[in-house]
């Protein structure tokens, strides 16, 4: 799962590398004739990895383009991926790590660590605090994220304070 802009850019680079590798492989007639099964295996594995990255890129682009004022339905394939719900909701709501930390009374360092480790290092209370801040609920077996008015107002205050601090730093 792509969690930030840096990973997004890196994934796009790898898609291009897989494209280049497949073009070179397709042009290698000698390899194809000498070992057709090995050639096809390389072709197929490169394409599978490329497609997997393209799916992740597409998912990230959809999350980034989501209107943060609207609820979002988030899908996970297994209970082991519940952390993805939190990360996807944060991305879709355009909330940075600092803002999420303030919303759920944690530090930015803690939130970054949680996301880096897919919340494996978060306590149940930490998980619930983040889930609550992001408005995660389950309806008809689907995860829905929707910021409630309290958190929207709190987020607006945080952003206003960030803007004031940024303006002050620039003016100094």
pLDDT tens by residue, 127-145: 999 999 999 999 988 899 9
What pLDDT sits at residue 47?
95
The answer to whether residues 167 and 96 belong to one domain is yes
In the predicted model, residues of the chain with pLDDT beneath 70 are 164-172
Domain that holds residue 51: 5-65
The answer to whether residues 140 and 95 belong to one domain is yes
Specify the CATH number for the domain of residue 158. 1.10.260
> Where would I find the H helices in the chain?
5-27, 29-34, 36-65, 82-92, 97-103, 108-116, 124-133, 149-171
What pLDDT sits at residue 170?
47
What pLDDT sits at residue 161?
87
The answer to whether residues 86 and 103 belong to one domain is yes
The answer to whether residues 102 and 164 belong to one domain is yes
The answer to whether residues 94 and 37 belong to one domain is no
The answer to whether residues 52 and 121 belong to one domain is no
Average pLDDT of the chain is 92
What pLDDT sits at residue 156?
93
What is the number of domains present in the chain? 2
* Cα separation, 31 vs 28, whole angstroms: 6
What pLDDT sits at residue 166?
58
């Amino acid at each position: 799962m792509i969690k930030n802009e840096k990973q997004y850019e890196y994934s796009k680079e790898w898609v291009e590398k897989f494209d280049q590798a497949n073009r070179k492989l397709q042009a290698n007639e000698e390899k194809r004739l000498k070992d057709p099964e090995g050639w096809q295996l390389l072709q197929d594995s490169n394409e599978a990895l490329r497609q997997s990255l393209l799916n992740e890129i597409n998912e990230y682009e959809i999350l980034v383009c989501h209107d943060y004022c609207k609820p979002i339905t988030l899908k996970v394939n297994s209970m082991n991926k519940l952390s993805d719900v939190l990360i996807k909701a944060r991305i879709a709501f355009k909330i940075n790590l600092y803002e999420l930390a303030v919303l759920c009374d944690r530090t930015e360092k803690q939130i970054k660590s949680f996301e880096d480790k897919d919340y494996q290092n978060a306590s149940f209370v930490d998980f619930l605090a983040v889930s609550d801040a992001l408005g995660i609920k389950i309806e008809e077996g689907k995860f829905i994220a929707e910021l409630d008015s309290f958190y929207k107002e709190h987020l607006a205050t945080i952003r206003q304070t960030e803007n004031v601090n940024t303006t002050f730093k620039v003016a100094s």
